[in-house]
């Protein structure tokens, strides 16, 4: 048996039973004579799936294995793995791309008009709320057109995607790119929290019992918070199944919302033309009666900036160009144009209907709810349409959060590819999605929902600042891009982008100042923290590349003769099968190296057990290894474990200075996830400790036991 050369500070799992490990959760560790694996690969399958059947599964159907249960559960929830070769087949056509990437912008209709009215209502300017709603809505509509035009340019000039991050980084520098990426990160996280919270609020407006609470974990938890958390987890699960699957699932809610809102607004327009409409509930102005002329410019700006939440999500299409079917840029641009048209129609239509019906939002009733009630009345058929509208609103707010789950992992992958985020986020999961980014987004979003108690109005101040920072940087970047490339009509493009950048910059500033005390300060604080964190990550990766990159002129340890080895096998107070496997592993490492030393080290915690260890050593080890291995017994009168081992390693370093020290940790696997946690705690603790010591290589020698199989017999559970 030849010696193995193991690099320093590397954990190696050695298995003497399995010579070639098939890395799949279906492969069970059995004796080589019992192992039979049949692999069938059908490349004609759209998902590139594979089937693995083990002899243990075939002949022991009653065997209980928690790992098997988890694997089947995972496949049931997420589906079969997808091969890289079918990635193109899972791109999104325009029909499916709209619900995936445009639902966030469409769903903003559900709360943008409401936010405009709330700014006036909170100060008692009820008449002004009605009179200024239409002019403010028209101004926001113009801004939507400008921003949409800018991002349509970005799609064609940056067909690989990235949106604001790519535009800002490519034209304004790394710092501007990181500002955009950080703002987009905040935007995506808050999109999930705001959308789900708003969806739950709309549902609670129709189902009054949802305003109650339930007793959970010793506390009274509002039902709305619990429902919002469950919705976030549900959307996470769907996105882990793949982008195409989420598109099919969320297509019906998106188009249902557009259909129902068209019916609502069409009915409102008909009532306006025929003069059949009336106020939903006559407003009793019991507080401050004011005219439009008494309203200050700051209040109007606050209402305008709050209503600009209608723009949120417009950038999502440009961030996910790579998810579209070829030609990617053309299909993405078409999707964006459709999005802008539908968004403007619904937003302006809802503003007109809210003005016509004299609606004002309350704690328990939203603008859409009141407009739908005003359009449909209180007849049986009208109540049915009202319920369908409420359900469609809830569903579109749910899939609005899906936009973040589709866009945020791609953004994070781009930033990580540039070295400003952990590179683990660049990896695709087995369903061709960036599952690590999806899970990270879920965790932060759930925490936000809980912290802000699923209140849309409490989350909106945090929401808008980051969105409009992205808009501003993107349009400034597009100005420089079109000027440098001198594209046809670049002067006109620059003027439009300049106007858009100015307005969105003012909106961001107004949001940050006017709502600073309401929570916007958190964005102002978090944004530079994310940027600083990104620079630290990039600095680490740069240091890592300088340190680890190999040049042909550098020192190469492979050019020198092998250094002497000191192989230490840690043994317990009993010589069992795991210890014998560990000794065999140590012998295999040291074999063929005449200058190597093989030692077994026993930390004597209980002197009464030492005679038994010596007796078993004489019977089970010495007849086979003889003088090849030395048993060193290290007393530990204070029953310490780690300190004597460290002292022993110091002594070994003094005895043979410069040797490579390889420590073999004998372990065993019980074959059951539950009973596994009853063993190996000492080995795990030693491994984490030894790996932090320089010039030490730790080898895990693992003995795989027969999996524990329980069945129901006459006397109960028997083995």
108's tokens? 């903003």
Q: What is the pLDDT of residue 286?
A: 38
Residue count of the chain: 719
Please tell me the distance from the alpha carbon of residue 188 to that of residue 467, in angstroms, as a whole number.
9
Q: What is the pLDDT of residue 19?
A: 27
Angstrom CA distances, 319 to 185, 428, 432, 564, stand at 12, 17, 17, 55
- Radius of gyration of the chain, Cα coordinates, nearest whole angstrom: 33
Please tell me the distance from the alpha carbon of residue 118 to that of residue 306, in angstroms, as a whole number.
9
Q: What is the pLDDT of residue 279?
A: 55
pTM above the 0.85 mark? Answer: no
Longest dimension (CA), the chain: 106
| Burial class of residue 349, CB neighbours in 10 A (0-12, 13-18, 19+) | buried
Q: What is the pLDDT of residue 639?
A: 85
> In sequence order, which residues have a C-beta less than 8 Å from that of residue 285 and are 6 or more positions away?
126, 127
CA–centroid distance for 487 within its chain: 38
DSSP classification of residue 628: G
Sign of CA dihedral 579, 585, 588, 589: negative
Please tell me the distance from the alpha carbon of residue 378 to that of residue 385, in angstroms, as a whole number.
10
Pairing, β 660-669 against β 696-704: parallel
Angle between the N-to-C axes of helices 297-307 and 456-485, in degrees from 0 to 180, rounded to the nearest 10: 80
Pairing, β 50-54 against β 37-41: antiparallel
Angstrom CA distances, 256 to 69, 446, 661, stand at 38, 27, 67
Tokens 């980084």 locate to: 169
Model confidence pLDDT, tens digit, residues 115-168: 888 877 766 677 777 788 889 999 999 989 988 888 888 888 887 766 788 888
Tokens 């990159």 locate to: 549
| Burial class of residue 351, CB neighbours in 10 A (0-12, 13-18, 19+) | buried
- 3-state SS, residue 533: helix
Model confidence pLDDT, tens digit, residues 71-128: 777 777 777 777 766 666 768 888 888 888 877 888 788 778 888 888 777 666 777 7
CATH annotation of 562-711: 3.40.50
Which residue ranges of the chain lie beneath pLDDT 50? 1-64, 282-293, 711-719
Among residues 39, 123, 145, which one has the least CA distance to residue 496? Answer: 145
Pairing, β 629-635 against β 660-669: unpaired
Q: What is the pLDDT of residue 39?
A: 37
* Torsion angle, alpha carbons of 595, 597, 598, 603, to 10: -170
Write the DSSP string, 595-649: T-EEEEEEEES-GGGHHHHHHHHHHHTHHHHGGGEEEEEEE-TT--SHHHHHHHH
**Residue ranges of domains in the chain:** 84-281+289-469+510-542, 562-711
Which superfamily, per CATH, for 84-281+289-469+510-542? Amino acid/polyamine transporter I (1.20.1740.10)
429's tokens? 């999961």
Tokens 């490990």 locate to: 21
First-last CA distance in the chain: 39
Please tell me the distance from the alpha carbon of residue 119 to that of residue 435, in angstroms, as a whole number.
39
Q: What is the pLDDT of residue 147?
A: 87
> In sequence order, which residues have a C-beta less than 8 Å from that of residue 310 and are 6 or more positions away?
105, 108, 109, 112, 113, 140, 144, 343, 347
Angle ∠(264,268,269) on CA atoms, nearest 5? 120
């Amino acid at each position: 048996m030849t010696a193995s050369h193991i690099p320093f500070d590397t954990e190696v799992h050695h298995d003497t039973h399995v010579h070639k490990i098939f890395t799949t959760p279906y492969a069970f560790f059995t004796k080589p004579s019992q192992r039979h694996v049949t692999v069938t690969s059908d490349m004609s399958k759209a998902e590139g799936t594979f089937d693995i059947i083990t002899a243990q599964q075939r002949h022991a159907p009653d065997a209980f294995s928690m790992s098997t249960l988890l694997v089947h559960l995972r496949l049931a929830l997420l589906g079969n793995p997808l091969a890289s070769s079918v990635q193109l087949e899972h791109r999104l056509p325009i029909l499916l791309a709209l619900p995936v990437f445009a639902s966030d912008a469409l769903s903003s209709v559900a709360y943008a008009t409401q936010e405009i009215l709330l700014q006036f209502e909170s100060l008692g300017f009820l008449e002004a709320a009605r009179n200024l709603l239409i002019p403010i809505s028209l101004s926001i509509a113009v801004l939507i057109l400008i921003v949409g035009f800018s991002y349509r340019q970005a799609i064609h000039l940056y067909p690989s995607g990235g949106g604001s991050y790519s535009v800002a980084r490519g034209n304004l520098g790394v710092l501007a790119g990181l500002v955009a990426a950080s703002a987009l990160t905040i935007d995506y996280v808050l999109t999930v929290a705001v959308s789900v919270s708003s969806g739950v609020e709309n549902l609670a407006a129709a189902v009054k019992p949802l305003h109650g609470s339930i007793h959970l974990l010793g506390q009274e938890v509002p039902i709305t918070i619990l429902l919002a958390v469950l919705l976030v987890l549900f959307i996470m699960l769907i996105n882990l199944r793949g982008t195409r699957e989420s598109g099919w699932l969320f297509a019906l809610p998106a188009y249902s919302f557009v259909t129902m809102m068209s019916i609502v607004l069409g009915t409102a327009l008909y009532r306006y033309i025929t003069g059949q409409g009336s106020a939903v509930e006559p407003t009793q102005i019991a507080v401050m009666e004011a005219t439009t002329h008494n309203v200050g410019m700051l209040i109007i700006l606050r209402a305008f900036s709050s209503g600009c939440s209608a723009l949120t999500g417009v950038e999502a299409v440009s961030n996910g160009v790579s998810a579209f079917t070829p030609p990617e840029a053309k299909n993405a641009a078409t999707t964006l144009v459709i999005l802008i048209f539908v968004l403007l129609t619904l937003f302006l239509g809802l503003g007109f209907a809210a003005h016509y019906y004299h609606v004002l939002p309350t704690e328990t009733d939203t603008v859409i709810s009141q407009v739908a009630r005003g359009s449909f009345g209180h007849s049986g058929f009208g109540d049915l349409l009202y319920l369908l509208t409420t359900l469609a609103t809830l569903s579109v707010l749910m899939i609005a959060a899906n936009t973040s789950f589709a866009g945020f992992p791609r953004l994070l992958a781009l930033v990580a590819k540039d070295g400003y985020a952990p590179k683990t986020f660049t990896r695709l999961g087995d369903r061709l999605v960036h599952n690590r980014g999806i899970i990270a987004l879920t965790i932060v979003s759930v925490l936000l929902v809980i912290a802000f108690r699923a209140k849309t109005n409490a989350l909106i101040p945090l929401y808008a600042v980051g969105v409009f920072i992205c808009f501003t940087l993107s349009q400034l970047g597009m100005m420089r891009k079109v000027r440098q490339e001198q594209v046809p009509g670049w002067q006109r493009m620059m003027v439009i982008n300049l106007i858009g950048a100015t307005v969105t910059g003012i909106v961001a500033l107004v949001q940050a100042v006017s709502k600073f005390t309401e929570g916007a300060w958190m964005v102002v604080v978090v944004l530079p923290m994310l940027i600083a964190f990104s620079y630290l990550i990039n600095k680490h990766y740069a240091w890592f590349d300088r340190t680890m990159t190999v040049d042909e002129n550098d020192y190469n340890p492979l050019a020198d003769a092998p250094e002497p080895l000191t192989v230490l096998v840690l043994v317990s107070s009993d010589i069992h099968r795991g210890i014998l496997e560990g000794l065999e592993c140590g012998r295999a490492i040291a074999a063929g190296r005449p200058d190597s030393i093989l030692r077994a080290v026993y930390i004597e915690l209980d002197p009464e057990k030492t005679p038994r260890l010596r007796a078993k050593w004489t019977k089970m080890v010495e007849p086979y290894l003889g003088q090849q291995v030395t048993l060193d017994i290290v007393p530990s009168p204070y029953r310490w474990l780690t300190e004597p081992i460290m002292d022993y390693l110091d002594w070994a370093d003094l005895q043979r200075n410069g040797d490579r020290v390889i420590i073999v940790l004998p372990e065993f696997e019980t074959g059951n996830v539950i009973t596994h946690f009853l063993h190996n705690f000492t080995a795990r603790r030693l491994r984490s400790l030894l790996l932090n010591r320089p010039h030490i290589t730790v080898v895990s020698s693992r003995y795989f036991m027969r999996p524990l199989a329980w069945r129901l017999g006459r006397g109960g559970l028997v083995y």
